[in-house]
Structures are given as structure tokens and as C-alpha cells.
Amino acid sequence: MKQLIVLLILFSAIANAQEYTVADLKVQGNKKLKSSFVKKISNIKAGVKLDSMVIEADIKLLKRLPSIAHAYYQVFPAEDPNAYNVFYTIEENFTIIPSANVYTTNDDEFAYRLGLYEFNLFGQNMTFGGFYQKDIYSSYAVNFRAPYLFSRSLGLALNYQDLTTQEPVFFDGTTADYKYNNESFEILGLYQLNFNNRFEFGLNYFTEDYQYKFGATNSNVPQDLRVHKLLYKFIYEYNNLNYDYQYVEGFRSIFNFQYVTTRNERQLPAFLIGWNDFQYFKRFGNKGNWASRLRLGIATNNNTPFAPFSVDNNLNVRGVGNTIDRGTAAIVLNTEYRYTLYEKTSFSLQGNVFIDAGSWRMPGGDFGDFGDPESIRVYPGVGLRFIHKKIFNAIFRIDYGYGVTKDATQGLVFGIGQYF
């Protein structure tokens, strides 16, 4: 009977929220995550009107955080008859997480990336960590991201990367392999306008170094190229996703725009590149989840072998191989149906069937290239997801993609986290 009375009070309070105020916001269930941080980013605070819509928005935001596996709320009467205490109950994720990606190169050799990240540094939902990559050559990076460093709306990100790979370069129907190095320093300001909209803006100073290894040559294609560049970056994200452990529902759009200039004596033309990822997720029943991503990208259409958009196993088309082609514009669709095959309190096994498809505009080409059979890639496939529900991003994925278009290949792709 007492529980029934409490529930009736709760529903009455929510239904008539405009008549009541919040006496206090109390946070419980958290261990590592600071209660002060939860209160800092919540819109419900002592003294404001009790509003169920505001509470629901707070809970939705909390469930997006890497440090939180699940969250819910309760409302109870306070001593003041016109006020109520709001309780946010937190189920934390384990947030010191290793990352791993393993894939085969075009020479059927294995490459890998291993990392370690803390996603709840100091209990403030800051991310700090880095990775080591072995893809013929060694690479590494260090990353720091604090989206709520200064306030609920303002944060900062710092990134350093020294990435070295063997990259194919395509020109005149031939291919050459280069040792490619990119060393970069980046600083970004992070601004969250409201619950659904956020912005990133900043600078990236980097050095690109191409050294010819073997393959075709051309007098118009340099065998050695080293340039210092300054990149101005702008990102806008609209996010209306709702998470329930491994299930996702809603729409998300991420727009990324970059303006690149050279900073040394060998002046190259300024370069523009932009792309937008549209993501849509839909729940089907208790176990099904449809997920789709559409990427539309375009860049300055220079006739260069070093075009920015690449066809790659780990980025856009599973099974195609690592960097098999390049272009100055791209249309890529990834769509898959995920179904939970087995589930317990902390573990879930998910299967998926997918189709990855895309087409690219060749450097110096035109938009008619999108319909050229030489540019189109279609790869259906199947995969498995091994998910730990109480560890952030603890999703080990295996996908097998099989090409059905001209000169197609097939292959396995391993990784941590969903593909998108």
C-alpha cells in the first residue's frame, strides 16, 4: 500500500509539475562518477520547477555518457508540501577500456591497432588515452577530451598523432606504394548549444611526408613530398539518439568541414573538404535493431593521386581491403540489421547481416563517375557482436564482407565497438 501511495504521488507530481518546485537533486548508485558532475550537467536543480520533460532530457543525456551504463529517476515528497526531491540513480560503466582493431592488408598480412583509454578521468567524464598501431610501420597517438571542462556547455579537446602507413597511390591506371607519415597537433573548442546540438571548432597543424617505395612512376607525380599544413576544422552534430544498453533508436547527423592551407615554401593550393554522416536507428521488437549510415562527402577536385576519400575496410566497406582506391567525392551507405541471439544481465551476443555500398568520384573527374561500374562497390556480409553491457564500448565485433561487384574481394574485419 505504501508503494502504491508513493507511485500515486509521483504521477500526480509529474502531471502537475508546474505547481511544484525541486527541493533537491540527489544522485545515487554512482561510485567513481562524481555527484557534483552529474548535478553540473543536469538542468534539474534545487529551486527550479518540477518538470518531467526536463527530467527525461537529463536522463537521456546521462545515458549517452561513456561513464554510465543506465540511468533512471524517482520523485519523492520533501518536507515542503510544494516541493519534491528528485533522485537520479546511476548504473556505472567500467571505463578503463582497452581497444583493438585487427585487419588484413592487401598483401594478406595482419595489421593491428591497440589502445587504452580512460573515459571517466577524475570522475568528470573526461577521456584520456592513446593507441599504438602496427601496419608495416609503427604509429601512435595521445588524446584528451573534456566536453564539460569549463561548464555544462563548454569543453576542450587536445590530440597528438604520429601515423605512418604504406599507402597505395593511384594515377594513369597504375599504382605506386608510398611510405606516408602524418604528424599532427590539434586543439578544439567544444560547445554544446542544447541537448541535441553541439559544435567543435579548432586548428590542426600537421606535416605530411610521402616517400616512394615501389611501383609505377610518373614525372608529374613526386617521389618525395613533405609539406607543412594548417587545417581549420568545424564540426556540427545533431544528436537525438536514445540508448538502452546495446540498443539504439533515433537520428543523428554529423557535419565535418575542413579548410587546409600549406605553410612552407612549396605553396600548394588551398584545399576544402566536407562530409556529412546521417545515422538512423530503429528498434524492432525486444531484440531487433536496424542501423544505417549514409555518408556524403566532397572535396576540391584536384587531379592528384593523393585524393582525400579512400575505399577502406576499416572506414566504409567491410571486406574490400585496406585503401584500395581514392576519390575527391564519396557516397557510402552502410545498413545492417542487428539481432540479439543471447542475453544475460551483463552479457549479450548479437548477430548482424549488412550491406556496405559506395561509389567515388575520381580525382579530376566528374559526378558521372558515381555511376561508373569501376567506381561502385557493393559488399553484403554477416557478423557477430560479443557485448559486455557494463563496460563502456566493450563490443568485440567480427564481420565478413563478400563483394558482388566487378573485381571484388572478400575478407574479415575485427574491431572493438560497433562499426558505426
Q: Residues 196-253: pLDDT tens digits?
A: 999 999 999 999 999 999 988 888 788 888 889 999 999 999 999 988 889 999 999 9
Nine-digit cell string for 178: 608510398
pTM, two decimal places? 0.81
Domain boundary residue among 41, 64, 92? Answer: 92
Residues 382 and 256 in one domain: yes
pLDDT in tens, 395-404: 999 999 999 9
CATH (domain of 257):
2.40.160.50
Pair 159, 186: CB distance under 8 Å: yes
Give the DSSP letter of residue 137: E
Judgement on whether residues 239 and 262 belong to the same structural domain of the protein: yes
Q: What is the DSSP letter of 320?
A: S
Residue scoring higher pLDDT (8 or 277):
277
- 126/186 Cα distance (integer angstroms): 17
What sign results for the dihedral spanned by CA atoms 218, 220, 221, 222? Answer: positive
pLDDT tens track for 257-305: 999 998 766 666 788 999 999 999 999 999 999 999 999 999 999 887 7
Q: For the domain that residue 22 is a member of, what is the CATH number? A: 3.10.20.310
Q: Could you tell me if 63 and 167 lie in one domain?
A: no
Tell whether 141 and 264 lie within a shared domain.
yes
Same-domain check for residues 110 and 87: no
Write down which residue in 92, 125, 159 finishes a domain. 92
Same domain, 152 and 297: yes
Residues 59-100: tens digit of each pLDDT: 999 999 999 989 999 999 999 999 999 999 999 999 998 887
Percent of residues, the chain, with pLDDT higher than 90: 68
* pLDDT tens readout for residues 161-203: 999 988 888 887 788 899 999 999 999 999 999 889 999 999 9
DSSP assignment string, 100-133: EEEEE-TTS-EEEEEEEEEEEETTTTEEEEEEEE
Kindly state whether residues 119 and 252 are assigned to the same domain. Answer: yes
User: What is the number of domains present in the chain?
Assistant: 2
- Same-domain status, 77 and 182: no
333, 253: one domain: yes
**Residue 105 predicted with pLDDT over 80:** no
CA 27/CA 30 separation, integer angstroms: 7
| Residues 200 and 311 grouped into a single domain | yes
Among 92, 121, 146, where does a domain finish?
A: 92
What residue numbers bound the domain in which 155 lies? Answer: 96-416
pLDDT at 235: 98
Q: Note whether 231 and 196 are same-domain residues.
A: yes
Residue 391 · residue 97 · CB < 8 Å: yes
* Residue 34 CA to its chain's centroid (Å): 25
Same domain membership, residue 394 and residue 376: yes
